[in-house]
Structure 1
Amino acid sequence: MGLPERDEKSASGAKPFPGRPSSDAPVMPVAGAGGKGLRAGALGLFSSVAIGMASTAPAYSLAATLGLIVAAVGRQTPVITMLAFIPMLLIAYAYRELNASNADCGTTFSWATRAFGPRVGWMGGWGIIVADIIVMANLAEIAGIYSFRLLGYDALAEHQVWPTLVGVMWIGVMTAICYVGIEISAAIQCGLLLIEVSVLLLFAATALIKAYTSGPQTAIHVSASWFNPFDVPSTKALTAGILAAVFIYWGWDTAVTVNEETAESTRIPGRAAVISTMLLLITYALVATSVQAFAGVGNSGIGLGNGNNSDDVLSGLGSAVFGSHGPGIFLAKLLIFMVLTSSAASTQTTILPLARTVFSMAAHKALPSRFARVHRRFLTPTWSTVGVGLASIAFLVLLTVISHDFLADSIGSIGIAIAFYYGLTGFACVWYYRRVLTRSRRDLLFKGLLPGLGGLMMLCLFCYAAFDVYADPDYGKTSIDLPVIGRTGGVTVVGIGALLIGVVLMLVVTHEHTTALRLQRSLLPDGLPPQTAVELASRYVPADSRTGVGGDWFDAIPLSGTRVGLAVGEVTGHGLRAAAAMGRLRTVVRVLARLDLAPDELLLRLDDMVRQAAREEVPKHGASGAAGKRPTDEADLGVSCLFAVYDPVSGRCTMARAGNPTAAVLPPDSDIVTYPELPAGPPLGVGGLPYESTELQLPPGSIVALFTDGLVQTADGPDKALGLLAETLTRYRHALEEFCDRAVAALLPGPANDDATLLLVRTRVLAEDQVTVWELPPDPAMVADARNTTTEQLGAWGLDDLAFTTELIVSELVTNAIRYATGPVHVRLIRDRTLICEVSDTGHTSPHLRHAETDDEDGRGLFIIAQMAQRWGTRYTATGKTIWVEQSLPP
């Protein structure tokens, strides 16, 4: 990440960042709404609320559900419609908070993936697909039936084939509208919803007035007991009533699903979800109270308890409320038209979230990539929109052919899928924000308590519906004899069976992602070994969407002379190839670092390796493109790397980078975080500018944070991210592990769009009594002085047991230096975890270990040293070379 130039620089060559972002902080691209190519900003708050309400099909939902609620709880129906609002509101808060952090049209799929991993996320998306396809088929059939009723062909409405054919036509028309554009869809929804709500309110007002004036014999006055849930006969009746009432609120989440096409995508969709549920509460409570006051709860005639009318209570009440003469005929027809438009509008608004869920899953490689295509002109999903329309038609026709009763029972199974993915969203919100729940009371309430309570309610409804109510063989119109289990209600078989099909598909689809994540974790260090030079702490945060598992890595490599090499890097691709490329690069970095190369030279060698890999890829994949070349994975995806070497003897840290990783530095006696001005270097394999190193003098106790882009690519932008990093670093400087946790919690409250790595070090400096250095003139007589000085120093350190071997090592190395090089010779002894002996000279030729023959006059000294040493090697410097030898200390 390149930082802009400024006129004045600090002494360390870095720019200060005192706990908050400055105006000249860098700007990095971040993933946001509209990033998948949909038409961003097409919808406003009003359109979003209209889509959210229209998706619930208020008129159709009331017509199909009021009778079921009355059968369960009797006169307490109004309060049940109000109680069912509570879990929906709690889940709406979960949607709002999750959308504020990640405005992805995949909603539950995307959020659950980030919270719990790709498999759970895939099942969340599958739950949406199951619920929407089933309801699409049923809504289309209802639209077909009411089309004939509106025209007065009641006999055709009761036929099995004709409503299905008309329903197929309705799905086709609404699919075409959704294909053409989101603006047209929103405009149609606003118009249809206006008609629907107006007629509903007129119907409710007329029914309530007639209940108190000229109502039928079934009319009853509104009572306070209707709103007392404790008057419900039993807990089972209460649960059954709420389970039925939950269905009438379902669909408001469409307002969030179109978030990538909404203005202020992180704010307006969440507000629209909450507002639409509240408006639905008012509408449903008013209609339920008015209709119950007019028709009563009897089980005959127009009574709401009449089982013959339970599948459509509004059509039978149209003539009774509006009358059968004059305007009443028109209004009764208008009520039928309202149910028709409600089901048709809900068909359209069901295509919208379903297509976008499939589109998002395909964009994240959880479904075939063909479904992620966007129309160039309309900027709507193409294959996903057409695909969900065809899938709904196929499901409608299939169940109609199999059994019309089975199609009727499938509508009940929607409740199982709804409770599943709504509950999963509530739990995902709690887990997604678990690290920030204690940050404020608001976070604890809206990100933790309310979504968690909503998730628990949905879990209870799911278990009760799937394994008690719907599993009863006498419930619904069909039952199936299952092996081992026995006869089970068809509703449970359809609902649970559809989810189990998703489990099988999930295992197949997520196999590659799981393998890539496992490979990625296995290639990273399990734990950083303790180092004398620095205190270490690290974090790796993978992005758990399918495109998120990439090639970020970090490493701390022990080098000669107690130095340490520090590296962070990023292969900006995803999947198995990126993880494998990361593993290769990390291995190469460790090998090159052990050669004691300078950071800029190491990056140059690494760049050569990437380019060589690019040339070797051509025979594997064949020529492509105008140049006839296919770049390798690393070159194609891009590779960034920052490598630093810290020397605890001198306190100097040398850094170089390829690409845009950066570092933050906090001195021990300051609260000003600086970002070193690292020379720009091209990504590895790209070519261009040469790599350059920067040297910093770090006092002991300085904290250096190395990180990749994923750590600071937040929805609020890099300015705030860098400010949060600086603020957290100054606050938790004394506990590196706690700082890592706090930094991840502050910068990544939920998993990021990209992998993120953070490597944190606190520098140390060796004490003066641990290091001794002396210079010798190039005189063979000085070899004896070197041996004597070495023996005296080892005696002072209490290492007399190593005196003989160390004398031999020093004698051999100093003799070779005087013999084969010119200029002074420097000897340095370091007492650390090992005893390190270094001899430096001005020569550039490194000695080679070989097996001396019996008649050779030389070549045995280095062989003897290698046998006595734990490690040895050569390090080149600007003035020559240094040969170093490490010996284990006595127990």
Structure 2
Amino acid sequence: MKVSTAQAEPATPLAPGPGPGAKGLRAGALGLFSSVAIGMASTAPAYSLAATLGLIVAGVGLQAPIITMLAFVPMLLIAYAFRELNATDADCGTTFTWASRAFGPRVGWMGGWGIIVADIIAMANLAEIAGIYGFRLLGYDSLAGSRLWTTVAGIAWIALTTAVCYVGIQVSAVLQCWMVCVEVVVLLLFAVTALVRVYGTGAPPTSLPVSASWFNPLHVPSAKALTEGILAAVFIYWGWDTAVAVNEETADSRNTPGRAAVVSTVLLLVVYALVATSAQAFAGIGTDGTGLGNAANAGDVLSGLGGAVFGTQGSGWFLTKLLIFTVLTSAVASTQTTILPLARTVFSMAAHKAVPSRFARVHHRFLTPTWSTVGVGAVSIGFFALLTVISGDVLADSIKAVGLAIAFYYGLTGFACVWYYRALLTRSPRDLLYKGLLPGLGGLMMLCLFCYAAFVVYADPHYGATSFDLPIIGRTGGVSVVGLGALLIGVVLMLVITREHTAALNLQRDLLPRHLPALTGVETASRYLPADSRSGVGGDWFDVIPLSSARVGLVVGDVIGHGLSAAATMGRLRTSVRVLARLDLPPDELLDRLDDVVGQNAEEQAAEERARGHARAGPDTGRDEALGVTCLYAVYDPVSGWCSMARAGHSPPAVVDPGCGAVSYPDLPAGPPLGLGGPPFQSTEFHLPDGSLLALFTDGLVQTPDHDTETGLRLLTRVLTHCHRPLEELCDRTVAALLPGPVDDDAALLLARARRLGEHQVAVWELEAEPAAVADARAATTRRLREWGLDDLAFTTELIVSELVTNAVRYAAGGPVHVRLIRDSSLVCEVSDTGHTAPNLRHAAADDEGGRGLFIIAQITQRWGTRYTPTGKTIWTDQPLPATE
């Protein structure tokens, strides 16, 4: 069925797909230098130092430089986790995507929520600082002290930076490169000038020569002070992961963003260590004047030091203003680069169906996220205005609480890296170090910082500007309440949003076979791996169907859609295949009938949509989830050893020769996917030696982010060469080799080892089509049943053979009659002739002379049916063996 698509293309189309590089963003827009600049700008080095250095000095005194350097360690370790994960999966969702694939969609959703919480809270802080410093730069100190005007200016800055992010990543990158270069140059100039003043002329009386003791963490007064200092210093490094969040817009997206993350953290270490050391050497740690311990300057140490270091006359005045301008641009640049990762996280979550799909729209010309960029800007403005109206104290505490969200999602990324690569850690020392030890250690550090801050430091009712009296717990610090409360809101939202994924997964598992049947003709084993992300749970399925005469039907299929509809479609198709298989249809004819079912359902759905007035809904109106489904159906006969199969757009199976272990992929006619029309399906028949192995699989097994289909098939071939291993072990080895980490798309695997029935289990006779053949058939049947020890079935089987051979002689169009007995888990009796007319079961009337024989057969057998062959038909019956057998 074709549906018209002649309509205007929307201005903001949805992301083409959720995969890395497939969302429609502008690929290759950034290089290494731009990525490093964005990573550094996101941390706002000038503002971070201005706002944090005084707090660090207040806690640890002269050890502030070493504390600043120690905070670099967990950040570097997490940067390695980002680098390794990005090398495998360059998705702009970063922590959300990686944690989803490592731990499942619920944990991944919380990782994305941690990024959202941290960025939105930080946006409020950065906007306020940008407003204050903007007025200070222009000399309007009175406006800088007005909450109303700083809020208005902050909102204007958020709107402006949101607009810049909206018009394109390249514009954002150019601005960031210029601003971060100016920022770093001014900071280095400040540090060098301060050290020159300390060791030259004009040193203030508070200055101190640099001492080696400043870099000894053992001189910190207490373990609590050490932890609080590191906790405060960690904040100044936060933001470098923006370089990874724009990975899908970076040239060499798998390597450049990770390198940029590591390089930017190292450069930040150099800048922070130099500025912290020089500022402390120049101003000292006193509590008066420009001393770093002065509580009045704790929120902005650089503005006070600017005039003292550069002077207030001539070029000194200009450099002092330039330092203020640097703090302003630092806050503005960080505001812009905070929007970038936040918008792309929401964009990726929408592409993966973790938030409403509206946020997955891409601007057709700028190739930037539209709704997610505008949405995060609007939410940031609303959050900033709301907290400003409620209380300045709550705003201050919420800014401090951002550290909890940072530690949460950074630590989660470290643990996700270890778990993601758990199967590869023993591959090489490098993998063990960079994929396991370093990220794991970084995750543990972040976990310790999170727990200590949330339940010890921030929970103290005297810490911060606010406190809350909680039930049972009692009086608790507002910073801890705001930080943990924001994360707990995410838990509630996660349970609501991920319920469809849970329901789809449960439905999928319920519709798949719980246990494969134990059959004589084949030994089977299977694996089904659901996708780890919400967008990946689809409708892959497999089945093993017992057929007449000990034959076996093997089927595997791949539904294109995802979610509940795909799982329901899978159940509908699997049921249809089982029903059609019981008609003993050959594979090509079964797929023809299944194709008709799909097409008819699509037509009915389209008619219903038109009746409801939804025909204008767009090109997907009336689309059935089964349209485009691929399927492979095979029938194996353990008596003859022949296997016939046909496929509807599906990958061919792997066939393993039991003698040499050679793996081949039969050249089957492809056939179109179901419901799309095209050439007819064709069956292919080939002989399977006893012990041959068949591997039927879906594309999710061989095509992953780690390797393409060709590589996946090579890995599968390598595993299947060991075909004599137990099938359960082969399944485990296949999954471990092809899917060592998280699964992006459903994957189904069905292994079947062919087994031939022995000659002692089959008896065949060819008879002439004449009345005397009936007696011969009964006699031969009785002798064979006696040899098999099945005398208890002799009477009923003679009756069956007599009736079926009589009908064949009477109604067949000449030619020989064949009788075959198969002793399997049941006793199968077949009578084949050259006729093509199938008998019909009916109740004979009282005056009918015939018509009762087939009715009697149906009563004394458990199953019976007709199977057509190229030369005629076969009527078969199935009788249970005696209990002793």
DSSP-derived class of the 1:277 partner: helix
1:729 aligns with 2:716: no
Structure 1 contact 581–633 (Cα < 8 Å) conserved: no
Point out the more displaced range, 284-293 or 376-385.
Answer: 284-293
Cα deviation 1:572-608 (Å, max 9, x = unaligned): 1122222111111110001101111000000000011
Cα deviation 1:526-571 (Å, max 9, x = unaligned): 2222222222122222223232122211111111121111111122
Equivalent in 242, 247, 257 of residue 245 of structure 2: 257
1:133 aligns with 2:120: yes
1:824 corresponds in structure 2 to 816
How many Å separate the matches in 1 of 2:54 and 2:549?
83
Structure 1 contact 639–684 (Cα < 8 Å) conserved: yes
1:317 Cα deviation from its structure 2 partner: 1.6
DSSP-derived class of the 1:488 partner: strand
1:171 aligns with 2:168: no
2:443 corresponds in structure 1 to 455
1:387 aligns with 2:379: no
How many Å separate the matches in 2 of 1:291 and 1:57?
18
How many Å separate the matches in 2 of 1:231 and 1:818?
106
Cα deviation 1:215-274 (Å, max 9, x = unaligned): 333333333333333333322222212211111111111111111111111221112112
How many Å separate the matches in 1 of 2:280 and 2:811?
107
1:845 corresponds in structure 2 to 837
Point out the more displaced range, 711-720 or 597-606.
Answer: 711-720
1:588 corresponds in structure 2 to 576
In the superposition, relative to structure 1, how do residues 342 and 637 fare at CA in structure 2: closer, same or farther (>3 Å)? farther
1:689 corresponds in structure 2 to 679
Equivalent in 231, 245, 265 of residue 233 of structure 2: 245
How many Å separate the matches in 2 of 1:529 and 1:84?
59
Equivalent in 40, 50, 60 of residue 63 of structure 1: 50
How many Å separate the matches in 1 of 2:424 and 2:801?
58
How many Å separate the matches in 2 of 1:31 and 1:502?
22
Q: TM-score, normalised by structure 2?
A: 0.94
Gaps of 5+ in 2: 1-15
Structure 1 contact 664–673 (Cα < 8 Å) conserved: yes
Which amino acid letter does the alignment assign opposite residue 178 of structure 1? C
2:776 corresponds in structure 1 to 785
How many Å separate the matches in 2 of 1:871 and 1:235?
79
DSSP-derived class of the 2:874 partner: strand
How many Å separate the matches in 2 of 1:311 and 1:603?
72
Structure 1 contact 91–425 (Cα < 8 Å) conserved: yes
Structure 1 contact 595–875 (Cα < 8 Å) conserved: yes
- Sequence identity, in percent? 73
2:789 corresponds in structure 1 to 798
2:389 corresponds in structure 1 to 401
DSSP-derived class of the 1:161 partner: helix
1:657 aligns with 2:644: no
Structure 1 contact 436–745 (Cα < 8 Å) conserved: no
Root-mean-square deviation (Å): 2.2
In the superposition, relative to structure 1, how do residues 812 and 635 fare at CA in structure 2: closer, same or farther (>3 Å)? same
DSSP-derived class of the 1:754 partner: coil
Equivalent in 659, 662, 671 of residue 669 of structure 1: 659
Which amino acid letter does the alignment assign opposite residue 756 of structure 1? A
Equivalent in 458, 476, 486 of residue 474 of structure 2: 486
In the superposition, relative to structure 1, how do residues 802 and 611 fare at CA in structure 2: closer, same or farther (>3 Å)? same
Structure 1 contact 31–753 (Cα < 8 Å) conserved: no
Q: Which has the higher contact order (CA 8 A, sep 6+)?
A: 1
How many Å separate the matches in 2 of 1:442 and 1:527?
42
In the superposition, relative to structure 1, how do residues 810 and 252 fare at CA in structure 2: closer, same or farther (>3 Å)? same
Structure 2 contact 95–409 (Cα < 8 Å) conserved: yes
1:407-426 pair list within 5 angstroms: 407-426=395-414
DSSP-derived class of the 1:568 partner: strand
DSSP-derived class of the 1:881 partner: strand
How many Å separate the matches in 1 of 2:292 and 2:153?
29
How many Å separate the matches in 2 of 1:113 and 1:163?
39
Structure 2 contact 615–621 (Cα < 8 Å) conserved: no
1:20 corresponds in structure 2 to none
2:83 corresponds in structure 1 to 96
How many Å separate the matches in 2 of 1:56 and 1:629?
45
How many Å separate the matches in 1 of 2:749 and 2:865?
31
1:513-662 pair list within 5 angstroms: 513-622=501-610, 632-634=622-624, 637-662=627-652
In the alignment of these two chains, the number of paired residues is 863
1:14 corresponds in structure 2 to none
1:671 Cα deviation from its structure 2 partner: 4.3
How many Å separate the matches in 2 of 1:478 and 1:271?
41
1:738 corresponds in structure 2 to 729
1:150 aligns with 2:137: yes
DSSP-derived class of the 1:362 partner: helix
Cα deviation 1:768-814 (Å, max 9, x = unaligned): 22222121111222222222222222232233333333233222222
1:336 Cα deviation from its structure 2 partner: 1.2
Point out the more displaced range, 431-440 or 197-206.
Answer: 431-440
1:21 corresponds in structure 2 to none
Cα deviation 1:826-850 (Å, max 9, x = unaligned): 1122222222222211122222333
Equivalent in 295, 306, 312 of residue 283 of structure 2: 295
Equivalent in 864, 872, 877 of residue 872 of structure 1: 864
1:11 corresponds in structure 2 to none
1:810-821 pair list within 5 angstroms: 810-821=801-812
Structure 1 contact 178–385 (Cα < 8 Å) conserved: yes
Which amino acid letter does the alignment assign opposite residue 177 of structure 2? C
1:208 corresponds in structure 2 to 195
1:349 Cα deviation from its structure 2 partner: 0.3
Cα deviation 1:833-877 (Å, max 9, x = unaligned): 222222211122222333345554333333333333232222111
Which amino acid letter does the alignment assign opposite residue 310 of structure 2? F
Which amino acid letter does the alignment assign opposite residue 646 of structure 1? Y
1:139 Cα deviation from its structure 2 partner: 0.3
DSSP-derived class of the 2:518 partner: coil
How many Å separate the matches in 2 of 1:230 and 1:805?
94
Cα deviation 1:701-739 (Å, max 9, x = unaligned): 222221222222223322222222222222565233233
1:884 aligns with 2:884: no
Which amino acid letter does the alignment assign opposite residue 390 of structure 1? A
1:156 Cα deviation from its structure 2 partner: 2.2
Structure 1 contact 614–630 (Cα < 8 Å) conserved: no
How many Å separate the matches in 2 of 1:126 and 1:162?
31
Gaps of 5+ in 1: 1-28
How many Å separate the matches in 2 of 1:628 and 1:289?
63
1:699 aligns with 2:686: no
1:183-332 pair list within 5 angstroms: 183-214=170-201, 215-332=203-320
How many Å separate the matches in 2 of 1:635 and 1:398?
44
Equivalent in 694, 702, 716 of residue 712 of structure 1: 702
How many Å separate the matches in 2 of 1:626 and 1:62?
57
Cα deviation 1:318-359 (Å, max 9, x = unaligned): 122223333222222221111111111000000111111111
Equivalent in 37, 41, 46 of residue 50 of structure 1: 37
Structure 1 contact 571–634 (Cα < 8 Å) conserved: no
Structure 1 contact 840–882 (Cα < 8 Å) conserved: yes
How many Å separate the matches in 1 of 2:206 and 2:837?
108
How many Å separate the matches in 2 of 1:664 and 1:81?
58
1:627 Cα deviation from its structure 2 partner: 13
In the superposition, relative to structure 1, how do residues 166 and 635 fare at CA in structure 2: closer, same or farther (>3 Å)? closer
In the superposition, relative to structure 1, how do residues 795 and 238 fare at CA in structure 2: closer, same or farther (>3 Å)? farther
Point out the more displaced range, 177-186 or 786-795.
Answer: 786-795
Structure 1 contact 611–635 (Cα < 8 Å) conserved: no
How many Å separate the matches in 1 of 2:724 and 2:374?
55
Which amino acid letter does the alignment assign opposite residue 62 of structure 2? R
Structure 2 contact 560–625 (Cα < 8 Å) conserved: no
